[in-house]
Structure 1
């Protein structure tokens, strides 16, 4: 027995010190020849079968080690030869189509699929070389703690009717593992904790006999932990490019997960991103690097020139379309203005008829259309000014100063076009002049700032830092307000609703006029727009952009001149520091990094999955944890019996190999035991097969015949015949 195991499945180190391990590719199973049956023919050698949820272990009682195979079968029809196949264990991985047909005899922790059990036993007997019409050997088989009686009855019926075994006995695997690890003594005391595939059992043992009436079982073990880890990975990587299977998550569970002595303290420690990154393990999944066709320099130059030519043509087409559109708008505006001037020459009724014929309801709609066209033209000229600010040569506009009476129709159209071009040129000149003024003003401010810095650096630095803090607090307040507005119960959200209500009750317009569709005066005062910004969560704010630009300018000056101001004090660093924990929890890679995007980073999940043994509620399982179950079991014994039990807390089953389990159990047991009561926790020498070894050792004794149900007893009493004994689910005397 060993007291603890230190295991860490780390692979090669990356340049930053992180561990990375490629996901192992399972090897194809090798073909094994059946054993020879000659040595056992006609002998009464017991046959030991450990029928586990994950593995089936079977061999004769005098074997050094059992045959081990995955306890899963699949019926599959091979397409090429058109023959039905019955595959067992690792052989299912050879045929990809057989994986969907795989079945396990167990449903969780209950034996239900007896067809699959029969197929698994057929394979086991073939591998043992049994070529007789019946299995003429006593059989000792495992069953789960508190197994349903009908499962045992159906298994007995299968063994006696199908295989004609001479006798059959059942035992609990955790008790037999305890028996094996305490030999030669057969009357040891202890508390056996058996970690099975789908459940964890706590069995008190006194004088070598399991006290099954006080034993408990929780529905959480390796299979649930593996599924829980898989769900955590899927939640963490919802768009992972490769499908993560349960087999892969089981491999991660056994190679990377461990128990923590104090899970809450561990979470506090992992608030530091550096601590979280230091414990992460990276699993590299298989990936295919996309092949990029490399082009020659001539091809790249030709493509670049083609793109430039296409860009020039597109710009010319856009400029031509823009000019044509502007000319059309100018013509429309001129026609509408002339149409409006004709109002003086028409009567009121005639004017209304003219408006309706042109598609206008009244004078207001005509004015609105004219105003819209004028605004469109202003925006277009402003854009032309921004696009053509590098133009310095003044173009000529010969038709602008010629009266309209001296021009024909084509010249009038050209004159309107030249007027538009002249207005755009003048707007560009004005914009350039304003930019020059702004640049000169900015240069003057820079000179004044330099003079202040040279005159009194300490005062200049203090002022800049104060401005920096003020801008940071303003940005934080703005972000805090946005977050508060998303919560309808917050004070900010309630104030927003009050503002909306006050706008609805605006008393600047009489109530009768509002009901009759009167004029809305919202926007007449500047305070209205302040209220609008307050109530509109998505309203863009020019102050935001201005504050960010000013903040960046101040940070650049401080970084350049103030040695005490470093990049860690900048807004970008402070913002990234707040998100550093999320970046450490799940590092992100660039979109084109195929290798990085096929990696899984395990950090807090390594301890969270194992913590579910002690707190199943965190995984959504409504049951007591392992610590509570142990406390409940121990509470049924006297103080002297408790001392005998906790002096030999025995762990068995493959999940008991997980690191940190022994310190965690000791930390759980110590507070509920008397201070002077010694606690000794040990692990099975080989948690995987010690149950089979204990069964084999027991089968070599004469006691096997006493606890077995014979074929004659089965024929007389039926499949529900039970014999009570210290290693089974029932104790003491024989009952029918």
Structure 2
């Protein structure tokens, strides 16, 4: 049975209790998974084991077959933290697809697309370039259901269809206006009939009739008649205006960014417009960066400006008479670095042209994840846990710390046999990155070597299988009798096991017990730091 490095006695006790009393196994032997993997790969008896698991990373020095436990280190970070970090990154980047970005999909992305960068900062600078981004971005298609009804119409047909829909809408509105006009005229005729009653002097019939119209008195009747006349007149004017209105001609695109009609020429024009748009953006960002550098004191731009000012002071009173003086003025003027108005207008024109003529992306493009720096950023946690708020040191720093506890001779032995095992050691680029880190931390012209396990995920199991098939396996097994006699935490040590430290006996404390009562037992808790 494999177990983690320096497993607590309590955890082993629970496992032994489950095996012997739950499953009734006759015997069991415990060993450390990473040490089993080391012996499985037959790399010698001296190595610096780097076991990269799902929850932790262990750095275990083994010298001449002996595990140096007191100098081993553990980093509380593993595959689960990398998956969670990548999950949060993509959910923040694509809040619309939160439900589609599942943990299983993130795990698949990490396994298939993630890489450890040789130089993380340099990798970030590469991805800041738009051309590099377009050439190297990875697009992951999320589950997408195509709408059942697809028009399949050309641009001209869609335009004609929109015109037809607009014409129908106008007809519907005109019909509604005519119906509303007829209703208002009918109501006006009824109110005029009531007015005739009051003019004829038939007051009683008038008072009875106004109750059905919710009219209080003759003045209220006059107001309603006036309002209806105004409403009828407005409706008639609207109907006449709509009938006489002609459909306005379509506005033709004007300006120098008019797209050609030929498809091939249009594509060339579109690519050229995009390139010009990016060029203007780059110029604007360069001006802003230069202006920001001018503000800082110890930058090259600020130093150059100060040199230009000193030359200007030494030029004398005739500064400005020469054409070259204008170049000096432009180099020191802060206003020269402001955004050009011409570039601003050009940028607006290019944006409008692209917005009008750039073809709309297919609907499935809206259900894609674009992986740029994220496949490099997530596994970088192995070397920089602070990126996710973890205050522990990274892998390279811990390895350097472990080296410092040994003599130069032992350091050389360990550095020449750095053994990588565990599931997270399968990230592409990890071996090269560790070799680079070792080159930086080790003395000048010293040698080092990084060895990968043949099967990082299963070599621990294969090593335990080989150990179980050896002739001496029975000598290292804990039998059921040993379990009942020594307790569940008992362990028989061997070359690939943890060391067994018996848990301290409970301490009897009589100071807290009342007189005449039984002794109070207080357990001593030992924390291994």
The bucket for the TM-score relative to the shorter chain is: 0.5 to 0.7
Asked if 1 retains the 8 angstrom alpha-carbon contact of 2:48 and 2:59, the reply is: yes
Asked if 2 retains the 8 angstrom alpha-carbon contact of 1:725 and 1:732, the reply is: no
* 1:571 is aligned to 2:347: yes
* 1:306 is aligned to 2:168: yes
Q: 1:217 to 1:291 in 2, by over 3 A?
A: same
> 1:581-618, CA deviations, whole angstroms, 9 ceiling, x for partnerless residues?
xxxxxxx996x843111110101001100111111110
**Which residue number in structure 1 is paired with residue 82 of structure 2?**
225
> 1:216-235, CA deviations, whole angstroms, 9 ceiling, x for partnerless residues?
11111111111111110000
Asked if 2 retains the 8 angstrom alpha-carbon contact of 1:212 and 1:731, the reply is: no
Q: Select the residue among 417, 423, 432 that pairs with 1:648.
A: 417
> 1:34-86, CA deviations, whole angstroms, 9 ceiling, x for partnerless residues?
xxxxxxxxxxxxxxxxxxxxxxxxxxxxxxxxxxxxxxxxxxxxxxxxxxxxx
Q: 1:290 to 1:173 in 2, by over 3 A?
A: same
- Give, in angstroms, the shift of residue 314 of structure 1: 7.1
**Which residue number in structure 2 is paired with residue 209 of structure 1?**
66
Q: Which has the higher contact order (CA 8 A, sep 6+)?
A: 2
Structure 1 residue ranges without an equivalent (≥5): 1-140, 320-409, 422-468, 481-550, 556-566, 577-587
- Give, in angstroms, the shift of residue 250 of structure 1: 0.4
Asked if 2 retains the 8 angstrom alpha-carbon contact of 1:259 and 1:661, the reply is: yes
Question: What does 1:412-431 correspond to in 2, within 5 Å?
Answer: none
Q: Select the residue among 37, 40, 48 that pairs with 1:191.
A: 48
Asked if 1 retains the 8 angstrom alpha-carbon contact of 2:127 and 2:372, the reply is: no
- Give, in angstroms, the shift of residue 168 of structure 1: 1.3
**Which residue number in structure 1 is paired with residue 456 of structure 2?**
687
**Which residue number in structure 2 is paired with residue 249 of structure 1?**
106
- Give, in angstroms, the shift of residue 622 of structure 1: 2.5
Counterparts of 2:391 and 2:175 in 1: how far apart (Å)? Answer: 69
**Which residue number in structure 1 is paired with residue 404 of structure 2?**
635
Q: 1:626 to 1:210 in 2, by over 3 A?
A: same
Asked if 2 retains the 8 angstrom alpha-carbon contact of 1:242 and 1:598, the reply is: no
- Give, in angstroms, the shift of residue 621 of structure 1: 2.0
* 1:674 is aligned to 2:433: no
- Give, in angstroms, the shift of residue 161 of structure 1: 1.2
> 1:126-176, CA deviations, whole angstroms, 9 ceiling, x for partnerless residues?
xxxxxxxxxxxxxxx111123222111000011111222222111111111
Counterparts of 2:497 and 2:28 in 1: how far apart (Å)? Answer: 12
Q: Select the residue among 29, 32, 38 that pairs with 1:172.
A: 32
**Which residue number in structure 1 is paired with residue 374 of structure 2?**
605
Counterparts of 1:728 and 1:209 in 2: how far apart (Å)? Answer: 11
**Which residue number in structure 1 is paired with residue 126 of structure 2?**
269
Q: 1:302 to 1:273 in 2, by over 3 A?
A: closer
Question: What does 1:497-536 correspond to in 2, within 5 Å?
Answer: none
SS of 2:420 mapped into structure 1: strand
Q: 1:294 to 1:711 in 2, by over 3 A?
A: same
- Give, in angstroms, the shift of residue 247 of structure 1: 0.8
Q: 1:571 to 1:656 in 2, by over 3 A?
A: same
Q: 1:575 to 1:287 in 2, by over 3 A?
A: closer
**Which residue number in structure 2 is paired with residue 506 of structure 1?**
none
SS of 2:30 mapped into structure 1: strand
* 1:142 is aligned to 2:7: no
SS of 1:239 mapped into structure 2: helix
Counterparts of 2:418 and 2:36 in 1: how far apart (Å)? Answer: 15
- Give, in angstroms, the shift of residue 718 of structure 1: 1.2
Q: Give the alignment's TM-score, normalised by structure 2.
A: 0.58
**Which residue number in structure 2 is paired with residue 502 of structure 1?**
none
Q: 1:210 to 1:317 in 2, by over 3 A?
A: farther
- Give, in angstroms, the shift of residue 706 of structure 1: 2.9
**Which residue number in structure 2 is paired with residue 706 of structure 1?**
475
SS of 1:618 mapped into structure 2: helix
Q: 1:573 to 1:615 in 2, by over 3 A?
A: farther
Q: 1:702 to 1:599 in 2, by over 3 A?
A: same
> 1:506-533, CA deviations, whole angstroms, 9 ceiling, x for partnerless residues?
xxxxxxxxxxxxxxxxxxxxxxxxxxxx
Asked if 2 retains the 8 angstrom alpha-carbon contact of 1:649 and 1:680, the reply is: yes
Counterparts of 1:156 and 1:574 in 2: how far apart (Å)? Answer: 72
Asked if 2 retains the 8 angstrom alpha-carbon contact of 1:285 and 1:598, the reply is: yes
Counterparts of 1:293 and 1:721 in 2: how far apart (Å)? Answer: 70
- Give, in angstroms, the shift of residue 658 of structure 1: 1.1
Asked if 2 retains the 8 angstrom alpha-carbon contact of 1:568 and 1:574, the reply is: no
Q: Select the residue among 151, 160, 178 that pairs with 2:20.
A: 160
**Which residue number in structure 2 is paired with residue 483 of structure 1?**
none
**Which residue number in structure 2 is paired with residue 614 of structure 1?**
383
Asked if 2 retains the 8 angstrom alpha-carbon contact of 1:276 and 1:604, the reply is: no
Question: What does 1:345-364 correspond to in 2, within 5 Å?
Answer: none
Question: What is the alpha-carbon root mean square deviation over aligned residues?
Answer: 4.1
> 1:365-392, CA deviations, whole angstroms, 9 ceiling, x for partnerless residues?
xxxxxxxxxxxxxxxxxxxxxxxxxxxx
* 1:236 is aligned to 2:93: yes
Q: 1:573 to 1:177 in 2, by over 3 A?
A: farther
- Give, in angstroms, the shift of residue 574 of structure 1: 8.6
